[in-house]
């Protein structure tokens, strides 16, 4: 094959794989296969500079840095949207629209999520991407083409039948960062590099890099929902437009788009999305309702900056201002002292918030926060509320500086500050606060899973001296428990059963439960597959440990340091004497679910997601995040998301919670 043909073929194939992976979420090749094709293309291009093309996927790694961004004018302005603040505003929008059109006929609306990202406009000429511009002020934005080219889900050339391609089209949408990818990126950043406050800031910062090679390394994604100027194609409705986008390979907000001629159904759908916003992989701050038909939109027209045919419906805010009343210091199981903000209670996205984490002293300094300040509090996704900003203008001079204590608030021991760490730690091995944290961790879902052993109960057990070490958990008696607050006979008996069951949890979870530094769930499982018992693990030396695949020096050192502490050895001996007999990971054969992969979607009626995952793992199965052809089972609960649809198209077996129980041979409730 001639080099030219091979290069073209490789470029097409790689872009197809990019599309499958980034837009359809259905990988069609292994990483190794993809890398091999990519390398072959890079080598051929290097050998044939005359066949260079800026639309080659090899260019997605970024180009030489720019001096500055160039301003570009949008051919058609990027408008804003009017807001609807509650359900009646949505109904008013419908009534207004019909009145304006002078029609009693029902109007078809399309509802989409309002993505909290950075607005972007892509210009394609004869299907080729020629310009990407930020929204800017709506009239003029910045040319970020080099950066947009590195975003894998943005097609460099539109696909589909050539005949359908418009001569020129401006396609509008939003660049964003999925929440999980944002968290992973931030977690890997050191304090010095600086962490980003939220996915939106991160997206903006990444998209506005003069060096597109940096943008290329950021996990940016995009989706598209509107058209500006267009030549040579008639688009009759929002639904038809989204169909064109899909055919061209542009990502849209599937599966969250809905059309209906019934405004009440649209209102319901808005609330469904609001309730399920944490299940959406990216941040959304509302929904957008649009008149579907383009001809009706033409009649409705625009006000100065906002169209009459669309409205943005905001979700309840997750940001509120309140007063910082005090700072309390909490001591965790590792002894780390964490400042916790005590707040004047404030309603935030449906719950009342009265405390928030302040992380550590550096964070307090960064915020410049003082006691008595009015502060902005944010609650995002599943994370605990945090103080994000001080409203300095509201100060009256009576605010007080926050000081971290020199002594542990729980046991009065003098605290340590490790040289290269920002955290203060209590060094006392028998500090009651550390013990409480350790017991809670030991009993938690991912460790020994002692149902009913929550924070409040652990507090009582430690405060009353019933639990002085982890091993004491196994020595608890019915008489001790019934005496406690909020514990009846039934809950005491239930708890004792749960404790009994916890004695034979798999070794990996027990190792995790010990709370050894740097030993998370995954590392604990690796250790459990190498060492047959806790005793064997405690005898291991660093060389031994480092020889284990995936175990590095940091972990090896932490395990040995743990084993060398006399009180830890004693604790483990006590645990074993009290009946802890971890189930050893057999080289798993004969597990009912051996080698099977599972995806869970929706809310399971009784089990909880973690519990279902643990059940699957216990029987040799593997829970994974997204549905693909390789998935064996989809477990569905209430309000399943897009995964159900996808599983059905791919022919994946669908089960409910009881189906899962039957599959592993456990009776419901057991």
Just list the catalytic residues. 114
Residues 206-265 that bind ligand IVH (CB under 6 A): 225-226
Q: Of 305 and 522, which CB lies nearer to ligand IVH in the complex structure?
A: 305
CA 473/CA 579 separation, integer angstroms: 11
Helix H or strand E encompassing 638: none
Sign of CA dihedral 247, 249, 250, 253: positive
Alpha carbon separation from 406 to 410, 420, 430 (Å, rounded) = 12, 18, 18
Q: Which residues contact 669 (CB under 8 A, 6 or more apart)?
A: none
Residue 576: strand pairing partners: none
Q: Of 115 and 280, which CB lies nearer to ligand IVH in the complex structure?
A: 115
Contact string (CB under 6 A) for ligand IVH, positions 422-441, x = contact: --------------------
Nearest to 115 by CA among 306, 253, 273: 253
Helix H or strand E encompassing 485: none
Residue 385 Cβ, how far from ligand IVH at the closest point, in Å? 25
Residues 487-526 that bind ligand IVH (CB under 6 A): none
| 174 lies in the binding site for ligand IVH (CB under 6 A) | yes
Q: Of 252 and 527, which CB lies nearer to ligand IVH in the complex structure?
A: 252
CB 616 within 8 A of CB 622: yes
Helix H or strand E encompassing 199: helix 199-207
Residue 82 Cβ, how far from ligand IVH at the closest point, in Å? 9
Q: Considering only 44-52, 232-240, 263-271, 304-312, which stretch makes contact with ligand IVH by CB under 6 A?
A: 304-312
Q: Considering only 58-66, 73-81, 335-343, 634-642, which stretch makes contact with ligand IVH by CB under 6 A?
A: 73-81
Q: Of 312 and 487, which CB lies nearer to ligand IVH in the complex structure?
A: 312
Q: Of 115 and 144, which CB lies nearer to ligand IVH in the complex structure?
A: 115
| 79 lies in the binding site for ligand IVH (CB under 6 A) | yes
CA 545/CA 563 separation, integer angstroms: 13
Residues 445-484 that bind ligand IVH (CB under 6 A): none
CA 170/CA 224 separation, integer angstroms: 11
Residues 112-141 that bind ligand IVH (CB under 6 A): 112, 114-115, 119, 135
Q: Of 288 and 438, which CB lies nearer to ligand IVH in the complex structure?
A: 288
Name the token pair of 122.
């892509």
Residue 69 Cβ, how far from ligand IVH at the closest point, in Å? 18
Residue 116 Cβ, how far from ligand IVH at the closest point, in Å? 7
Q: For residues 85-117, b (16+ Cβ closer than 10 Å) or e, as one string?
A: eeeeebeebbeebeeebeeeeebbbbbbbbbbb
Nearest to 503 by CA among 461, 585, 443: 443
| 80 lies in the binding site for ligand IVH (CB under 6 A) | yes
Q: Of 204 and 409, which CB lies nearer to ligand IVH in the complex structure?
A: 204
Q: Of 207 and 510, which CB lies nearer to ligand IVH in the complex structure?
A: 207
CA 190/CA 186 separation, integer angstroms: 8
User: DSSP of 314-341, one letter per residue?
Assistant: EPPPSEEEEEEEEEEEEE-TT-BEEEEE
Residue 254 Cβ, how far from ligand IVH at the closest point, in Å? 12
- 351 phi, psi to nearest 5 deg: -130, 160
Which residue is closest to ligand IVH by CB? 119
Residue 641 Cβ, how far from ligand IVH at the closest point, in Å? 18
CA 256/CA 24 separation, integer angstroms: 14
Residue 225 Cβ, how far from ligand IVH at the closest point, in Å? 4
Residue 349 Cβ, how far from ligand IVH at the closest point, in Å? 19
Q: Considering only 6-14, 76-84, 333-341, 538-546, which stretch makes contact with ligand IVH by CB under 6 A?
A: 76-84
Q: In terms of DSSP H, where are the helices of 406-552?
A: 432-443, 455-463, 478-482, 489-502, 507-513, 521-530, 534-539, 542-546
Residue 559: strand pairing partners: none
| 142 lies in the binding site for ligand IVH (CB under 6 A) | no
Pairing verdict, β 633-636 and 597-601: parallel
Name the token pair of 87.
């359900």
Number of residues that bind ligand IVH (CB under 6 A): 16
Q: Considering only 109-117, 200-208, 324-332, 587-595, which stretch makes contact with ligand IVH by CB under 6 A?
A: 109-117
Nearest to 384 by CA among 357, 419, 418, 412: 357
Q: Any idea which residue has 């997605």 for tokens?
A: 60
Q: Of 281 and 579, which CB lies nearer to ligand IVH in the complex structure?
A: 281
With CB under 6 A as the contact rule, the residue among 307, 332, 508, 515 that binds ligand IVH is: 307
With CB under 6 A as the contact rule, the residue among 175, 252, 300, 310 that binds ligand IVH is: 310
Q: Of 101 and 578, which CB lies nearer to ligand IVH in the complex structure?
A: 101
CA 479/CA 596 separation, integer angstroms: 44
Residue 234 Cβ, how far from ligand IVH at the closest point, in Å? 19
Residues 329-388 that bind ligand IVH (CB under 6 A): none
Q: Is 151 left (phi over 0), alpha (psi -120 to 50) or beta?
A: beta
User: DSSP of 436-464, one letter per residue?
Assistant: HHHHHHHHSTTTT--TT--HHHHHHHHHT
| 291 lies in the binding site for ligand IVH (CB under 6 A) | no
Residue 150 Cβ, how far from ligand IVH at the closest point, in Å? 20
Residue 419 Cβ, how far from ligand IVH at the closest point, in Å? 46
Residue 257 Cβ, how far from ligand IVH at the closest point, in Å? 9
With CB under 6 A as the contact rule, the residue among 24, 63, 66, 81 that binds ligand IVH is: 81
CB 14 within 8 A of CB 60: no
Q: Considering only 232-240, 305-313, 344-352, 589-597, which stretch makes contact with ligand IVH by CB under 6 A?
A: 305-313
Annotate 644-661 with three-state secondary structure.
HHHHHHHCCEEECHHHHH
Interface residues with ligand IVH (CB under 6 A)?
78-81, 112, 114-115, 119, 135, 174, 225-226, 288, 307, 310, 312
């Amino acid at each position: 094959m001639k080099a030219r043909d091979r290069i073209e073929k490789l470029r097409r194939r790689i872009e197809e794989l990019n599309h499958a992976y980034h837009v359809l979420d259905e990988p069609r090749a292994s990483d190794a296969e993809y890398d091999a094709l990519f390398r072959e293309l890079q080598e051929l291009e290097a050998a044939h500079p005359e066949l260079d093309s800026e639309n080659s996927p090899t260019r997605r790694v970024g180009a030489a840095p720019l001096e500055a961004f160039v301003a570009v004018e949008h051919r058609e302005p990027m408008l804003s949207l009017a807001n609807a603040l509650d359900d009646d505003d949505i109904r008013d929008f419908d009534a207004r629209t019909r009145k304006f059109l002078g029609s009693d006929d029902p109007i078809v609306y399309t509802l989409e999520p309002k993505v909290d990202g950075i607005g972007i406009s892509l210009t394609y000429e004869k299907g080729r991407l020629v310009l990407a511009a930020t929204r800017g002020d709506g009239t003029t934005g910045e040319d970020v083409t080099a950066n947009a080219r590195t975003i894998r889900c943005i097609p460099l050339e539109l696909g589909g039948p050539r005949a359908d391609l418009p001569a020129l089209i401006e396609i509008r949408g939003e660049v964003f960062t999925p929440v999980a990818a944002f968290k992973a990126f931030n977690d890997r950043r050191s304090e010095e590099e600086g962490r980003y406050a939220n996915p939106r800031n991160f997206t903006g910062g990444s998209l506005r890099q003069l060096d597109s090679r940096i943008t290329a390394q950021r996990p940016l994604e995009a989706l598209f929902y509107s058209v500006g100027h267009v030549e040579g194609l008639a688009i009759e409705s929002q639904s038809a437009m989204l169909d064109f986008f899909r055919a061209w390979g542009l990502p849209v907000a599937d599966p969250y788009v809905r059309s209906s001629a019934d405004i009440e159904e649209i209102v319901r759908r808005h609330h469904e999305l609001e309730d399920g916003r944490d299940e959406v992989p990216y941040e959304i701050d509302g929904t957008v309702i649009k008149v579907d038909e383009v001809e009706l939109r033409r009649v409705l027209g625009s006000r100065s900056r906002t169209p009459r045919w669309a409205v943005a419906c905001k979700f309840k805010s997750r940001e509120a201002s309140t007063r910082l009343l005090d700072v309390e210091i909490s001591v965790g199981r590792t002894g780390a002292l964490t400042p916790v903000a005590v707040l004047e209670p404030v309603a935030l996205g449906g719950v009342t918030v009265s405390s928030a984490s302040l992380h550590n002293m550096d964070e307090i300094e960064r915020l410049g926060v003082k006691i008595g300040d009015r502060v902005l509090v944010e609650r995002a996704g599943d994370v605990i509320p945090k103080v994000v900003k001080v409203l300095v203008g509201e100060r009256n001079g009576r605010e007080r500086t926050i000081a971290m204590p020199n002594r542990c608030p729980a046991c009065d021991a003098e605290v340590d500050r490790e040289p290269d760490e920002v955290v203060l730690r209590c060094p006392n091995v028998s500090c009651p606060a550390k013990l409480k944290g350790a017991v809670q961790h030991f009993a938690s879902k991912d460790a020994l899973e002692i149902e009913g052993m929550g924070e409040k109960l652990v507090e009582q057990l430690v405060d009353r001296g019933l639990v002085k070490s982890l091993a004491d958990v196994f020595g608890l008696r019915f008489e001790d428990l019934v005496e406690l607050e909020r514990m009846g006979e039934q809950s005491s008996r239930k708890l004792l059963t749960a404790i009994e069951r916890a004695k034979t949890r798999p070794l990996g979870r027990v190792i995790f439960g010990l709370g050894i530094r740097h030993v998370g769930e995954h590392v604990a499982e690796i250790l459990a597959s190498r060492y047959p018992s806790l005793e064997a693990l405690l005898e291991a030396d660093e060389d031994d440990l480092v020889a284990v695949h995936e175990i590095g020096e940091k972990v090896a050192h932490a395990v040995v340091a743990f084993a060398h502490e006399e009180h830890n050895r004693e604790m483990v001996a006590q645990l074993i004497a009290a009946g802890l007999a971890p189930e050893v990971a057999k080289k798993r054969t004969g597990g009912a679910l051996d080698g099977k992969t599972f995806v869970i979607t929706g809310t399971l009626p009784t089990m909880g997601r973690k519990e279902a995952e643990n059940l699957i793992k216990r029987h040799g199965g593997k829970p994974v995040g997204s549905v693909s052809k390789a998935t064996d089972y989809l477990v569905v609960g209430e309000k399943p998301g897009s995964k159900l649809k996808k599983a059905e198209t791919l022919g994946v077996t669908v089960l409910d919670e009881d189906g899962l129980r039957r599959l592993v041979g456990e009776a419901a409730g057991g």
